[in-house]
């Protein structure tokens, strides 16, 4: 049994939403004192080595976080198969993943569905003004606060089994 619980956030370009989700979740896990959770992000149409968008860097700063040093990652079979939980920003990414890798459909969710949110998806801020990126980051922060208790339960269940 794996010792680490792995969460993968997925958007399209891995430059706006999923990098924000990644650093927000890492911060939330630190604040909650939760260890043995590996968090990463990737994009369904991303290339390796790109930077986070300026808007996302700005939005992260507004939350007291930093995307300095972040580099984009493409979605690969290895990243997908290693993840215990895959959270996408919208239904398009979820459908793409479950069509390409049907064996992970039981652990792939649109983040808003996973949290039973009233939102249908996390809107893509690409090309918009800075305030839209900040709103996106705040939406992600809200959703991640709802994800955290489920991660805690998964970790507790894993400890009982292992």
5-151: what fold?
Answer: Rossmann fold (3.40.50)
Q: What pLDDT is recorded for position 1?
A: 53
What is the domain partition of the chain in residue ranges?
5-151
112 part of the active site: no
Q: H or E stretch including 20?
A: helix 17-32
Selected catalytic residue, list 17, 73, 94, 121 = 17
Checking if the pLDDT of 162 tops 90, the result is: no
Q: What is the residue whose two structure tokens read 């700005």? A: 58
Q: What are phi and psi of 47, to 5 degrees?
A: -115, 155
Selected catalytic residue, list 11, 16, 112, 136 = 11
Each residue's pLDDT tens digit, 120-151: 999 999 999 999 999 999 999 999 999 999 99
Cβ neighbours of residue 25 closer than 8 Å, sequence gap 6 or more: 7, 9, 39, 144, 147
What predicted TM-score, i.e. pTM, was given to this entire model? 0.95
Q: What are phi and psi of 34, to 5 degrees?
A: -90, 130
11 part of the active site: yes
Each residue's pLDDT tens digit, 17-51: 999 999 999 999 999 999 899 999 999 999 999 99
User: Which whole number is the average pLDDT over 70-86?
Assistant: 96
Selected catalytic residue, list 95, 96, 124, 142 = 124
CA dist 106 and 75 (Å) reads 18
């Amino acid at each position: 049994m794996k010792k680490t619980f792995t969460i993968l956030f997925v958007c399209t370009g891995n430059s706006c939403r999923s990098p924000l989700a990644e650093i927000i979740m890492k911060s939330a896990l630190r604040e909650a004192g939760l260890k043995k959770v590996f968090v990463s992000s990737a994009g369904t149409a991303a290339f390796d080595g790109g930077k986070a968008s300026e808007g996302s860097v700005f939005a992260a700063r507004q939350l007291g976080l930093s995307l300095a040093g972040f580099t984009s990652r493409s979605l690969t079979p290895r990243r997908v198969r290693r993840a215990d939980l895959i959270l996408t920003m919208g239904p398009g990414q979820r459908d793409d993943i479950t069509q390409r890798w049907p064996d992970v459909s039981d652990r792939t969710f649109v983040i808003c569905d996973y949290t039973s949110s009233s939102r249908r998806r996390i809107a893509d801020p690409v090309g918009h003004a800075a305030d839209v990126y900040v709103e996106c980051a705040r939406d992600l922060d809200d959703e991640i606060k709802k994800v955290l208790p489920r991660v805690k339960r998964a970790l507790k269940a894993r400890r009982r089994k292992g």
